[in-house]
Amino acid sequence: METAHNPHLNHLLEALLKADYDRLFPNLEFIEMPLGQVLCESGDKLKHVYFPTTSIVSLLYVMENGASAEIAVVGNEGILGVPILLGGDSTPSRAVVQSAGYGYRMKALLLKNEFNQAGQLQRLLLRYTQALITQMAQTAVCNRHHSVEQQLCRWLLLSIDRLSGNELCMTQELIANMLGVRREGVTEAAGALQQLGLINYHRGHITVLDRKGLEAKSCECYQVVKNEFDRLLPALRV
């Protein structure tokens, strides 16, 4: 999908008008985002918004009994902090760095002010919001109807789309938390995919060998989400 992996590239920022980008740029802080970092706890007021570049952030719900489920994922195509824009400031979900890397952050209030100018920046971010909604809705459907193996395929595809290479650093335990299933379920599904030569798995390093094959094994949910992102945000296509 992408070509060279520019560690400073966030597609949403790139899609801004030059004037907007230039005004925002001095307020952007380039930061490291280590694996497992919690950017936002459930119910917390966000102080910053984040534009991942080489990192991936998961939005997850953690339930009273400790069970969890990922509801959406944000990478270099998006922004973390939509609730700021919508006016609620917080959400009941937690934001965790799922794949270590870098990104920009800026003060939430600054972006909120820009957003309230109701210009191209607002329109862009609202379209991104709709894409995010699609992802959540599709996750709901997928959770209801599809097997662990199908969901794993969807998840792998969504993840590598947001990275440059075809490799992910991620233990099966972590993936299980994201999908809200048992670790053993992931082991089994990943084993099957490896058997088929679609992926290579070794102690926290997954390499996707056959992207097309994965897409074929995946449920329709991946394509639906991808198509909506492409439709809503054509500017982001590389």
Partner DNA sequence: CTCACTATGCACGCCAGCGTACAGACTTTG
Partner DNA sequence: CAAAGTCTGTACGCTGGCGTGCATAGTGAG
Residues at the site binding its own copies, with contacts judged by CB under 8 A: 59, 61, 63-64, 67, 69, 71-72, 82-83, 85-88, 91-93, 116-118, 122-123, 126-127, 129-134, 136-141, 143-145, 180, 220, 224, 228, 231-232
CB 20 within 8 Å of CB 121? yes
Q: Which of 156, 128, 131, 163 is nearest to 53 (CA)?
A: 163
In angstroms, rounded to a whole number, what is the distance separating the alpha carbons of residues 96 and 48?
14
Q: Which C-beta is closer to its own copies: that of 100 or that of 133?
A: 133
Give the SS3 label for residue 109.
helix
Q: Which of 104, 163, 185, 218 contacts DNA by CB under 7 A?
A: 185
Burial of 132-148, coded b for 16+ CB within 10 Å and e otherwise, reads: bebbebbbeebbeebeb
Q: What is the dihedral of CA 147, 152, 155, 159, to 10 degrees?
A: -170
Our finding on whether 173 is near DNA (CB under 7 A) is yes
* Structure-block tokens of residue 115: 């957003």
* Structure-block tokens of residue 140: 């709901």
Q: Which of 49, 56, 74, 181 contacts DNA by CB under 7 A?
A: 181
Our finding on whether 44 is near DNA (CB under 7 A) is no
Q: Which C-beta is closer to its own copies: that of 142 or that of 199?
A: 142
Our finding on whether 123 is near DNA (CB under 7 A) is no
Q: Residues binding DNA: what is the number (CB under 7 A)?
A: 22
Return the one option of DNA, its own copies, none that residue 190 interacts with (CB less than 5 to 8 A, by type).
DNA
Smallest distance from its own copies to CB 125, Å: 9
Q: Could you give the C-alpha distances from 98 to 41, 58, 173, 176, in angstroms and in order? A: 14, 6, 12, 12
Smallest distance from DNA to CB 170, Å: 8
Our finding on whether 203 is near DNA (CB under 7 A) is yes
Q: Which of 37, 187, 200, 223 contacts DNA by CB under 7 A?
A: 187
- Indicate if the alpha-carbon torsion angle 30, 178, 125, 127 is positive or negative: positive
Q: Which of 21, 61, 102, 201 contacts DNA by CB under 7 A?
A: 201
Sites of contact with DNA (CB under 7 A): 146-149, 171-173, 180-185, 187-188, 190-191, 194, 201-204
